[in-house]
Amino acid sequence: MPWDPIQLNDGHVIPSIAFGTWTLGNGQGSIDQIEQAISVGFDHVDTAQMYRNEEEAGKAVQESGLARKDIFITTKYSGLNGLDIETSIQNSLKNLGVEYVDLYLIHHPRLAQPNIPTAWAKMEAIKRAGLAKSIGVSNFGVDDLEVLLASAKIKPAANQILLHPYVYARQAPLLAYAASQGIVSEAYSSLIPITHQPGGPVDKPVNEIAQRLNATADQVLLAWVKAKGAVAVTTSSKKFRLEGYLRAADLQLTPADIAAIDLAGRA
């Protein structure tokens, strides 16, 4: 697959594009959509306690017939029902029907209770127990990472963050800091310029690049994420779009293309 796996700091690798389940809801429809994503070639499912569809994700993975080692499952501690991290991982494993997850994330720094060092020590225990191959965080800023790293025995493997051209200038120092610490950044909601802010300044360069490369705007934005060295965490209900997302890794964005998108995002 052209989305090459990325090396994590703990010896494992992560597929560099994920199918996210946040907006899928529950039930058979959700299972069908995850199965569709796996059937077109996605091998990374990104779910969370809070999305309330870990069970659906687990069913879809089982029904895909893929061996456990051939699918990468991320889930997150979201503080659902006030449960602690130790109980939550057990519930997530049960919901997913697996013995381990590939990546377990603290969904947001405010969920790191009573404080980041204590919560992170619990995550480290989960990794040591083999319940998660890798551990990481989400929505952590530089300050949060600094607090975590000051006491960490195991570095977070990944930080999943909001990343699209309109927030790039704000997030660039965080990307640089994470990279300097060997932490892989994962990008979510990267298609916001299309889905929530159409008509903005990013449209012009994205559409021009898309036209030149015979691609779609969503593909250009995902290729931009790849160029930033981040894992793309995206989703679609449509098979043709999912196939397009996977092909987006082949788009050859030039440094000038990337600079034009960055500049438009700052406007």
Ligand X SMILES: NC(=O)c1ccc[n+]([C@@H]2O[C@H](COP(=O)([O-])OP(=O)(O)OC[C@H]3O[C@@H](n4cnc5c(N)ncnc54)[C@H](OP(=O)(O)O)[C@@H]3O)[C@@H](O)[C@H]2O)c1
| Binding residue numbers for substrate | 107
Active site residue 51: yes
Among residues 37, 217, 220, 246, the one that binds ligand X under rule CB under 6 A: 217
Beta carbon of residue 50, minimum distance to ligand X (angstroms, whole number): 8
The smaller minimum CB distance to ligand X, of residues 64 and 234, is found at: 234
d(CA 36, CA 30): 10
Site for ligand X in 4-43 (CB under 6 A): 20-23
Q: Does 92 engage in binding with ligand X (CB under 6 A)?
A: no
Written as one string, the DSSP assignment of 222-248 is HHHHHHTTPEEEE--S-HHHHHHHHHG
What tokens were used for 213?
A: 């490369």
- Dihedral sign of CA atoms 92, 108, 19, 250 in order: negative
Beta carbon of residue 207, minimum distance to ligand X (angstroms, whole number): 11
Among residues 142, 237, 239, 256, the one that binds ligand X under rule CB under 6 A: 237
Written as one string, the DSSP assignment of 17-85 is EEEE-TTS-SSHHHHHHHHHHHHHT--EEE--GGGT-HHHHHHHHHHHT--GGGSEEEEEE--GGG--H
Q: Does 241 engage in binding with ligand X (CB under 6 A)?
A: yes
Q: Does 49 engage in binding with ligand X (CB under 6 A)?
A: no
Beta carbon of residue 97, minimum distance to ligand X (angstroms, whole number): 19
Asked, as a colleague might, if the bond just before 114 is cis with ω within 30 of 0, I would say: yes
The CA-CA-CA angle for residues 92, 95, 96, to 5°, reads: 85
Segment interacting with ligand X, rule: CB under 6 A, options 6-14, 94-102, 233-241, 255-263: 233-241
Among residues 191, 231, 260, 261, the one that binds ligand X under rule CB under 6 A: 191
CA 77: distance to chain centroid? 14
Over the Cα atoms of the chain, what is R_g? 18
Q: Does 139 engage in binding with ligand X (CB under 6 A)?
A: yes
Q: Does 197 engage in binding with ligand X (CB under 6 A)?
A: no
Segment interacting with ligand X, rule: CB under 6 A, options 64-72, 203-211, 212-220, 247-255: 212-220
The partner residues of 20 in beta bridges, in order of sequence, read 46
The smaller minimum CB distance to ligand X, of residues 126 and 231, is found at: 231
Q: Does 190 engage in binding with ligand X (CB under 6 A)?
A: yes
Q: Does 218 engage in binding with ligand X (CB under 6 A)?
A: yes
Site for ligand X in 68-87 (CB under 6 A): none
> Coil, helix or strand for 108?
coil
* Active-site residue set: 51
Residues in the site for ligand X, rule: CB under 6 A? 20-23, 46, 107, 138-139, 160, 188-192, 194-195, 216-218, 233-238, 241
